[in-house]
Amino acid sequence: MIELDNDLQSRQHARELVRSAKQAHAILASFSQQQIDAIVKNVAQEAAHHAESLAKMACEETGFGNWQDKVLKNRFASLHVYEAIKEMKTVGIIHDDPIKKVMDVGVPLGVICALVPSTNPTSTIFYKALIALKAGNAIIFSPHPGAKMCSWKAIDIVKRAAQAAGAPAGSVSGLTELTLEATSELMHSKEVSLILATGGEGMVRAAYASGTPTISGGPGNGPAFIERSANIPRAVKDIIASKTFDNGVICASEQSVIVERCIYDEVHRELEAQGVYFMQEDEAAKIAALLMRPNGTINPKTVGKSALYLSQVAGFRVPANTRVLIAEQTTVSHQNPYSREKLCPVLGLYVEEDWKAACNRVMELLTNEGLGHTLVIHTQNQDVIRQFSLEKPVNRILINTPAALGGIGATTNLSPALTLGCGAVGGGSSSDNVGPMNLLNIRRVGYGVRSIEELRTPGSQAIPQLRPEPVASPQISILDDARFTSGVTRHSDDRFSLTPSAPCENEINEQNVERVIRQVLERLDK
């Protein structure tokens, strides 16, 4: 018997997994909602049971982040995600409107190929397995080679838990021959219905190029704007907590801070008081040289490392309590790492004259990288929130919360997810925090309610008698929340007032120019 080369063996292994998953899906598709929910519940509980051991394993294998925060991520991706999806209807008739005579039926996609990043190697497996199974799909994981041991362990835990609750063999599986050829085989297979891609930009592009429908996350480059009305100590605390969570490996975390000049001194003092080290120009240059490789991609040796470690490698000393390194910046470009995604506790800082200049800087940063992803604003000004919400090209705008945890739905009520869609503006197919409903097709059933003769004779059909709408309680906007209306604003702010303020005597405008010309002419006449 001829022994196959490794690349061919890995391709054959991938094909076998797809065949097994296809058979499992045929059985899952016949399951009731109760059967599916029992599987999902058991997977979530068993995954949470192993949260700590897998966190330690992932941290040791990858060298990214810290195991304590990975425990929280594992529990979030299991129990928190489960609580959010457990009541969802995903099987059979999921919506029935007897008045309009339309009905929706949930239809599983089939077999899902899930790419797993090395930054979140176990939590991603828990999360993707739960949302895929909840939608009645089989799932095959392609782990990152740099995190294969902890990923294989997580896959095995999920697989055993699913089968113990009644899932057929093949419902959950993963590649054990980790080659590019095996992953390519999965992505190009005609039996794979969807690729759920989370990982590096190159792998995500390859997924879209495969021709198989793909839902992906994207690179984050989220700016954090501290507006003049913000609670500054709280804003700084949130930013640091977010940027240091698992040493900054969550893509929704802040990458730069934008501050209005009128509050800069106070923000600077607060940042230093809470453990931020402001780098000198030469120190910032040394860190910049570490952050990016010559080809412009993130240097994996900096991912998930602490501020103390990075400063030591760069060759300068910082105080022992340093949590984040920060560099003041004035430019944005693809060559400037401080204006790009940094998966470690390093931030760029931009000081702008007012909110309009801050708006421009936000747009510049997002256009440079991170379109469609995340923006965080620290403010108590409702008009600022409205203005940014209407104009900024992101799909998650977070208010007064740590971005890393707010973006994934941990400290906000956004859908809990570890795949954050960037939408068309970010080169993706979905703008959602991806959940089970993204992994379903909806079969719509519509009853005939009017004849073709009625369509040809407008006005001939009887006006339908609609049921009176119940009187609903008035809707309260989130912007009416006491958190946005209480407290004293430190700086007077009439920027959004309907009554224009009196013009400054020295302001350059048409009226003042005419006044100056008249004064000059009067002096000449004398």
Question: How many CB atoms are located within 10 Å of the residue 447 CB?
Answer: 9
Instruction: Tell me the two tokens of residue 458.
Output: 């407008």
Q: What is the largest CA-CA distance in the chain?
A: 112
> Does the annotation count 113 as an active-site position?
no
For residue 479, count CB atoms less than 10 angstroms from its CB and return exposed for 0-12, middle for 13-18, buried for 19 or more: middle
The structure tokens 């009439």 sit at: 494
- Residue 277 near residue 324, CB atoms below 8 Å: yes
From the list 194, 202, 198, the residue with the least C-alpha distance to 218 is: 198
Q: How far is CA 297 from CA 170, 205, 302, 342, in A?
A: 36, 15, 12, 10
Give the full edge-to-edge strand order of the sheet including 346-352.
276-278, 324-328, 346-352, 254-260, 222-226, 372-378, 394-399
From the list 230, 177, 186, the residue with the least C-alpha distance to 211 is: 186
Q: In one letter, which amino acid is 363?
A: M
Residue from 150, 251, 359, 422 carrying the catalytic annotation = 251
239: helix, coil or strand? helix
Q: How far is CA 48 from CA 71, 87, 189, in A?
A: 9, 19, 32
**Plot region of 31 (φ>0 → left; ψ -120 to 50 → alpha; else → beta):** beta
- Residues with catalytic function: 251
